[in-house]
Amino acid sequence: MSEGLEEAGFKCVFSSEILPGYASAYRLNHPDARLEVADIRSLDPDQIRKDLGMEKEELDLMAGGPPCQGFSINAPIRSALDARNHLFKEFLRFVDAFAPRAVLIENVPGLVSFENGATIKAILESLEEMGYCCDVRILGAVHYGVPQTRWRAIVLGGRGKSIGFPEPAYNVPHVPNFISVLNGKSLLQKPGPNANPNYVTVKDAIGDLPQLSNGERGAQAKAYALEPQCEFQRQLRIGSSAVFNHEAPRLSDINMKRLQYIKPGGNWTDIPEELLPEGMKKARKSDHTKRYGRVIPDGLASTILTKCDPHWGAFFHYSQERAFTVREAARIQSFPDRYVFAGTQAQQFAQVGNAVPPLLAKSIGMAIKDGYLRE
């Protein structure tokens, strides 16, 4: 989120992160922002505002993404008792202390249906009581130039005036599989007639990166394999002279055997039954369609998760006999190559998978800046 908003012209002055590993990666890429590594519930927003030398109503934007696992439609149990589901109150505490001109909250689409809409209504009502004109939409990242099927619920609020949501730039035939209606109104931000049908593909995203074999690490900084082949690659290579975080995870022998049977666009149903995991031998062919999937180069990637484990999604490279690298996952998320991830490979994958795609955040930031702050 911070990366995309900075690309839109914002400057981050303060961030809060509870995990030291994530904080080190954030600090590496946002060295000018003050960063508190702590439980947000322990922080005093009024003191932070004073330390920053800010008066109330001086801040342009308060942006955040309270942990979303408890809201997710994929969560084992979706309960109001999950402590993570109440961290949005901490965000509201900061809004009250700073009284920013605009507010941005990001979460999973499941936020809309959680507790039959009671939670999202409580968030909107709380912000409205603080003087913000708020609304919520569900945005498809693919409509903003991100080459994967990823949807996010976005709450925007302006002090005394509503903020328009960004218009989709690309027209992609992609239907969501979740509830997207609140109070009888569709929340999907749909492409208009002028949206570009030539959307960004997986090959557009990663086709210029060096080839690797299964488990190959190589040099920490690798040379690009090709000159930029499209505008997406040109944009993401700005400010970078080499490829970092591009090391192939080591697939097990059984997964390498399974991979031999999977063509681009294929999945677990192409694998001989004797090679399937025991738990999938009785599964219906119509279920789990992304598991052990090999992406189509001219299509979209499935949602990048916190680990690119083939058992959970289509994370096999379209032409190389291996799984995605951290850099390929980051490219599919639309991170620029100058953005370097820290920690173990597992931690790096988690940082990428938990992130808001920067291009989506940039589009939202431009809508806030140009459609609201400059008026």
Residues 353 and 326: their CA atoms lie apart, in Å, by 10
Alpha helices for the chain (secondary structure H): 2-7, 20-29, 45-51, 88-98, 110-113, 118-129, 202-206, 231-236, 253-259, 326-332, 345-354, 358-368
Tell me the sheet residues that pair with 243.
Answer: 222
Active site residue 12: no
Q: Per the residue annotation, which of 68, 133, 134, 230 is the catalytic one?
A: 68
Whether 130 and 95 have beta carbons less than 8 Å apart is answered as yes
| One-character DSSP codes across 236-270 | HTTT-SSB-S-------HHHHHHHTT--TT--GGG
- Neighbour tally for 9: CB within 10 Å: 13
Residues 237 and 228: their CA atoms lie apart, in Å, by 8
User: CA-CA distances (angstroms) from residue 200 to 25, 146, 176, 237, 332?
Assistant: 27, 7, 18, 16, 10
Report the candidate in 42, 47, 44, 1 with the shortest Cα–Cα distance to residue 18.
Answer: 42
Active-site positions? 68
